[in-house]
Amino acid sequence: MSGDLLRIEGLTKMFGGIQAAHNIDYTLSKGEIAAIIGPNGAGKSTVFGLITGAQKPDTGRIWFEGRDITGLPAHEIVNAGISRAFQVANIFPKLTVLENVRSSLQVRRGHVFSLFGDARRLCAEEAGELIDRCDLSDKRLLEAADLSQGDKKRLELAIALSSAPKLLLLDEPVAGMSRDEASQTMDLVTRLNEEMGLTILFTEHNMSIVFGHAKRVLLLHRGEAIIDGSPQEVRDSPVAQEIYFGEQVL
């Protein structure tokens, strides 16, 4: 299908007796910025895990740029162009910001063992660009452990960008942040979408973040896709009101 970057059909995943994803159909076009919302346990992170190859679906298929990526190992899915950010484990706390991003670039390129020479210099240059893009220029020589929560997230974002993704998945990108840090981080995410043309799918419980930044919203409930539409359509939907927004402050 032309224009579809990601296409999901009939995706189902059971954990024991729990239906974490049930027969989900979903597509994302190039350049979109969209959110998946839903109550705790709705299946949002499960969908991310299935897309990134962390989990294998019981049934259903996932296509990326027209290629069937269902069940591929996670590193092949990264190579295909899907990156998931905000996994703190990616950061080495004792390395500087620059070293973190550079070593990630080197690993992605298979340059782990060429610690000297051109490969290293090239990666350092590219790391510098990613760091600038993620508003960390003046922190490049700080150890990751010494960064604020917001700066750590920006570093995770720079690391996620080091695989040159076409689709970026962000699972609760501003969880635990102050209001200022959250809005700075989401402004950066918006810039990555608008300026780099990166397609972005994020999950979030804070509805002002969702409605302020997503152009399309998918509501999940008990593993099922309930409604997929514009923020306005989802906000105004009686079923969304009943399932989710009833308990939320909008």
Residues that bind ligand ATP (CB under 6 A): 15, 18, 20, 38, 40-46
Residue 96: name its binding partner from ligand ATP, Mg ion, none (Cβ under 5 to 8 Å by kind). Answer: none
Q: Element (H or E) spanning 19, and its range? A: strand 18-29
What are the phi and psi torsion angles at 217 (to 5°)?
A: -135, 135
Angle of helix 179-196 versus helix 149-161 axis, rounded to 10: 20
Query: Looking only at residues 177 through 236 of this chain, which bind Mg ion when binding is defined by CB under 5 A?
Result: none
CB 195 within 8 A of CB 33: no
**Residue from 79, 67, 130 nearest 103 by CA:** 130
Angle of helix 97-109 versus helix 149-161 axis, rounded to 10: 20
Measured from each CB, the residue nearest to Mg ion is 45
CB of 38 to ligand ATP, least distance (A): 5
CB of 45 to Mg ion, least distance (A): 3
- Residues ≥6 apart with Cβ < 8 Å to 194: none
Residue-level length of the chain: 250
Instruction: Measure the CA–CA gap between 86 and 112, rounded to whole angstroms.
Output: 23
Residue 173: name its binding partner from ligand ATP, Mg ion, none (Cβ under 5 to 8 Å by kind). Answer: none
Q: How many residues form the binding site for Mg ion (CB under 5 A)?
A: 2
Taking residues 78 to 117 in sequence order and writing x for each that binds Mg ion by CB under 5 A, - otherwise, the string is ----------------------------------------
Nearer to ligand ATP, 105 or 234 (CB): 234
Using only C-alpha atoms, the chain has a radius of gyration, in whole angstroms, of 18
Nearer to ligand ATP, 46 or 193 (CB): 46
CB of 103 to ligand ATP, least distance (A): 29
39 binds Mg ion (CB under 5 A): no
CB of 213 to ligand ATP, least distance (A): 18
CB of 245 to ligand ATP, least distance (A): 15
Instruction: Measure the CA–CA gap between 205 and 174, rounded to whole angstroms.
Output: 10
Residue 145: name its binding partner from ligand ATP, Mg ion, none (Cβ under 5 to 8 Å by kind). Answer: none
Instruction: Measure the CA–CA gap between 159 and 143, rounded to whole angstroms.
Output: 15
Query: Looking only at residues 41 through 60 of this chain, which bind Mg ion when binding is defined by CB under 5 A?
Result: 44-45
Footprint of Mg ion on this chain (CB under 5 A)? 44-45
